[in-house]
Structure 1
Amino acid sequence: MQRLIKRGLMFGNLFHVDSPALVDRYNRALQHLTGKRTTETDFHIDISGYSPEVGDELGDHLYLNHAGVNRQFILLSMEQRTAPLLNAKFSTSRGILQQFIAENEAQLFALTARDAVAGELVNSVFDVSEPRRLFDLRRVKVEADTTAGTVRDAEKLGQMVERFRTEKDGWYDDVLIAQMIELAGKTGDVVRNPVKLRQMSFDQRNFWTAHFGGLYLFQDLDHPAVVAPSGKDHLGDLPIKYVFDADDRNQLAKFFEYNGLTETIVEARGINSAAILRQKMDFILIDAVADEGGDLTGATRADMRRLAREHAGKLPEEFHALGALVNWAENGGNWPRITSDHPAYFYTLRASDTKDAELVNMLLAELAPKDARQMFICHKELFYKTYARWPEAKKAYVADFLVAEYQVDKAGARAALFGHDAPMEPPAPRKPDPVSDLIARVGPWGAVRER
């Protein structure tokens, strides 16, 4: 992992806490949330305030995320908003924190100038001891204040000011005036500069969780389902009809299709589909030949072709199928029939333009695990776990590629791979048909075991 850390591919873009003032604020917030303190004087934190160094010191890397639910957070600086979220247990958590920071930018900027802001992503579930409990996670509410209670005191002062203005004898209430003066010394002028954080809550219906081996819950769809790529037999009875794992390839393909969640790369508008497919082939090639022990540093396109020729006998079906697809796209070759049973099928897909595009691309990264680039971009938790098991040659090649081709322009790379052009005109309404009516009555996946 040191290679990834040194190249900024792991623990990159964390906020550096290295001044006595920031350390003191962090400790006040940590004491406020958990009753713990750190003796570290130089450490790094993610968007939620979690620090790998502090986690090592405390012997608990979930010290701000007990039991993996209701994640707590510590904000020391607005710079944290661009930091990653480490040890993520839910795919929605970083986005929620980013939206909370964006919606309260001015207030948080003022508050963090003097104190740390401590808070929690709150829902009604305090443990997920069994998979069924995940279905109780419907909304997440953000609660936050400074460690000194500035927001709470400002709200109280605001109420006092209103009493002072509206009550008949407010001008003569010496006790009320004294209390207002005392609170104003803590909060400042709340009339001219209101200190208030916007109360925010977020729906959490479609999400990924790291619990139970990694699950994708798609509840807010026309045809809902749970996807457990690593296996579903341990999940027990769930309050949803359809549960799939990575072996249910045909059902997964239909699930994507009926919900309009995916599109084929070659049919997507505004991207260089052949270049994307060719790069996927390179990763599949490297996966197949890396254990040979050769040096793959700085491998060129000619080197990749040479490797493909030399190792043609051991290249998997995915490589040859994507090659045929590239040949069709560039040279007008025969259209290759790649069905959902084929190992290359999920390599040919990407998320369509829906609100769940990031979640779908995350799932596709699990279903097409040899595409190291997509896994790194869309599912870092899985990437780091998988990377640790790779041969050294593959580790070096992938790290070099990500530094050269992704780190230099992250936004551009994401747009080129997963972006969507605006449609030229709205699609025509779909006419009802007997097949759609049948799907609506009995479900789209046929004889699948109910749960």
Structure 2
Amino acid sequence: MRRLIEKGLMFGNLIHVAAPALVERYNRALMHLTGKATALTDFHVDISGYSPEVGDELGDHLYLNPNGVNRQFILLTTEQKRAPLLNVKFSSSRSILRQFIEENEAQLFALTATDAVAGELVNSVLHVASPRQLFDIRRIRVEADTTKGTLEKADKLAGLVERFKTEDDAWFDDVLIAEMIGIASETGDVTRNPVRLKHTEFEQRNVWTAHFGGLYLFPDLDHPAVIAAGGRPEADLPVPYVFDLGQRRQIAKFFELNALVEPVVRARGPQAAGILQQKMDFIVLDTACDAGLDLSDLDRLDMRRLARTHAARLPAEYHGLADLRRWALGEGGWPRISSDDPAYFYTLRAAPGPDRDVVNMALAELTPLDARQLFICHKELFYRTYAGWPEAKRAYVADFLAREYQVDKAGARAELYGSEPDMSGEPPREDDLIDRVGPWGAVRRR
């Protein structure tokens, strides 16, 4: 993993905490939330305030996420909104934290100027003993305050001010006036500068969770279902269909019926061909690794040579993508790739919409030979998979990602997966052949 860290592909964009004042605030918040403290004077934190170094020191990498269902957080700066979320248990957690910070940035900026903000993503479930309980986690409430209770005191002061304004003879209530003065010395004038956080409740709809070996929960669709990455749960679930990753035809039908996917390329041209070629290159790489070949200093010509030399070894995924690439270059007809074809899911990406990211996560799990998609869309799985690769493959993939993806993340994501999802609902779609008959003509839609 050291190679990934050195290239900024793991633990990248974490916030460095080294100033004694920030370390002291972090420890106050950590003690407030967990009853623990760190002796470290230099460490890094993610968007939630979790630190890999502190986790190592405490021997507990879930010290801010006990039971994995009510994630706690420590904010030292609003710049944490740019950091990743590590040890993810729900795919929605980072977006909720980021939206919370952005919606309350001015208030949080003021609060973190003098103290840490400690809080929790609260739901109605304290411990998940059964997969069925995951469906009870629908509304997430963000509870937060400084370690000195600034927000609680501000609310109390606002109530006292209201009493002072409305109660008879409040002007002569020395106890009330003294209490207001005492609290105001800590909170400031809440009548002119109200200290209040807004937008603290969020809906959790279709989501991935790491619990029970990995589950993709899609309860809020016209045709709801669950996709189980770690084997089908034995518990009865409140959705009509539960698929494991081996049920490719059923998963393809589910994606189609809910209009969750589209072809990764929708028009001919060199850009489309390039996207497909890179997917093919990763498949060649995997085949070459299995053959024990030297993969050092490979370029595109070397990849083409390897593909020719080992054509008989290349799996069906490669040949299906090659057919589509020939279409993209105008050298062949539009291929009919059915859900039984191993290349099928490699030719898809999530359709625009609020479920785009979780669908791309599922597609990454269904296309394990595409290391780039695995890294971009499902980092938790990428890191686990990377650890089991041969050294030559680890070196090539790390170098490729650092060279081709890391230098322009936004551009690469836009090229591969389109524009950012519209969280307000389904965006308008072009009325073209693909929209009318589905990606490969498998399902006709009116």
Q: TM-score when scaled to structure 1?
A: 0.91
Structure 1 residue 424, shift from structure 2 partner: 11
Query: Which aligned pairs between 1:428-439 and structure 2 lie closer than 5 A?
Result: none
User: C-alpha distance in 1, partners of 2:35/2:337?
Assistant: 56
Q: Give the SS at the match of 1:21.
A: helix
| CA displacement, residues 151-186 of structure 1 (integer Å, 9 cap, x when unaligned) | 000111111112222222122211111001100111
Who is 2:100 aligned against?
A: 100
334-343 vs 263-272, which moves further: 263-272
2:57 is matched with 57
- Whether 1:376 aligns to 2:401 is no
1:324 is matched with 323
Q: Paired residue for 1:84?
A: 84
Q: In the aligned structure 2, how far is the partner of 1:343 from the partner of 1:18?
A: 50
| Alpha-carbon distance between aligned partners in 2 of 1:159 and 1:424, rounded to the nearest angstrom | 44
Residue 167 (structure 1) aligned with residue 167 (structure 2) = yes
Separation in 2 of the partners of 1:407 and 1:191? 47
Contact kept? 1:288, 1:315, Cα under 8 Å: yes
Closer, same or farther in 2 for the Cα pair 1:95/1:293, shift >3 Å? same
Mean Cα deviation higher: 173-182 or 188-197:
188-197
Q: For the residues of structure 2 that align with 1:117 and 1:272, how far apart are their CA atoms?
A: 46
**Map 1:26-37 → 2, pairs under 5 A:** 26-37=26-37
Is residue 291–residue 393 contact of structure 1 (8 Å, CA) maintained in 2?
no
1:13 aligns with 2:13: yes
Q: Write the deviation string for residues 414-440 of structure 1: whole angstroms up to 9, x where unpaired.
A: 111111499997667xxxxxxxxxxxx
The equivalent residue for 2:438 is: none
CA drift at 1:17: 0.9
Kindly state the Cα deviation for residue 292 of structure 1 after the two structures are TM-superposed.
Answer: 4.0
Compared CA separation, residues 354 and 424, structure 1 to 2 (3 A)? closer
Q: Distance in 1 between matches of 2:236 and 2:194?
A: 50
Distance in structure 2 (CA, Å) of the matches to 1:425 and 1:248: 30
2:277 paired with 1:262: no
Q: Distance in 2 between matches of 1:143 and 1:297?
A: 51
Measure the CA separation in 1 of the matches of 2:146 and 2:286.
49
Matching residue of 2:189: 189
Contact 2:269 2:329 in 1 (8 A): no
CA–CA separation in structure 1 for the residues paired with 2:65 and 2:269: 40
Structure 2 vs 1, CA of residues 285 and 263 (structure 1 numbering), >3 Å: closer, same or farther?
same
Q: Does 1:290 align with 2:285?
A: no
**2: CA distance, partners of 1:74 / 1:364:** 33
Q: Is the 8 A contact 2:208 2:358 kept in 1?
A: yes
In structure 1, give the amino acid aligned to 2:15: F
SS at match of 2:41: coil
Evaluate the alpha carbon distance shift between residue 285 and residue 137 of structure 1 in structure 2; reply closer, same or farther with a 3 A threshold.
same
**Structure 1 residues 337-352: aligned runs within 5 Å:** 337-352=336-351
Q: How do 1:358-373 residues align onto structure 2 when only pairs under 5 Å count?
A: 358-373=357-372
The SS at the match of 2:265 is helix
- Distance verdict in 2 for CA 1:426–1:378, change over 3 Å: closer
Give the whole-Å Cα distance in 1 for the aligned partners of 2:93 and 2:267. Answer: 29
Superposed CA RMSD in Å reads: 2.0
Structure 1 residue ranges without an equivalent (≥5): 429-443, 445-451
> Using the alignment, how far apart are the partners of 1:45 and 1:93 within structure 2?
16
Partner of 2:408: 409
Q: Counterparts of 1:327 and 1:321 in 2: how far apart (Å)?
A: 10
Aligned partners of 1:270 and 1:59: how far apart in 2? 52
Deviation of 1:241 after TM superposition, in Å, equals 1.2
* DSSP-derived class of the 1:335 partner: coil
Kindly, what percent of the aligned residue pairs are identical? 68
Moved more, 361-370 or 308-317: 308-317
Provide, for residues 248-270 of structure 1, a one-character-per-residue CA deviation record: whole Å limited to 9, x for no partner: 11111110001000011232699
For residues 239 and 424 of structure 1, the distance between their equivalents in structure 2, rounded to whole angstroms, comes to 28
Farther off after superposition, 179-188 or 323-332: 323-332
Question: Residue 60 of structure 2 aligns to a residue in which SS?
Answer: coil
* Partners of 1:207 and 1:217 within 8 A in 2: yes
TM-score by length of 2: 0.92
Shift of 1:215: 0.2
Rounded Cα–Cα distance in structure 2 between residues aligned with 1:426 and 1:293: 46
Map 1:164-313; keep pairs closer than 5 Å: 164-232=164-232, 234-267=233-266, 272-313=271-312
The answer (yes or no) to whether the contact 2:264–2:348 under 8 Å persists in 1 is yes
Partner of 1:438: none
8 Å contact from structure 1 (residues 250, 341) kept in 2: yes
Deviations 1:348-368 (A, max 9, x none): 000111210011011000001
Match of 1:440 in 2: none
1:377–1:269 Cα change, 3 Å = farther
Report the Cα distance in structure 2 between the residues aligned to 1:393 and 1:58, rounded to whole angstroms: 34
Q: Number of paired residues? A: 428
Q: CA–CA distance in 2 between the matches of 1:301 and 1:401?
A: 12
Counterpart-to-counterpart distance in 2, 1:420 and 1:332: 28
Q: Supply the distance in 2 between the matched residues of 1:300 and 1:325 (Cα, whole angstroms).
A: 22
Match of 1:431 in 2: none
Contact 2:81 2:98 in 1 (8 A): yes
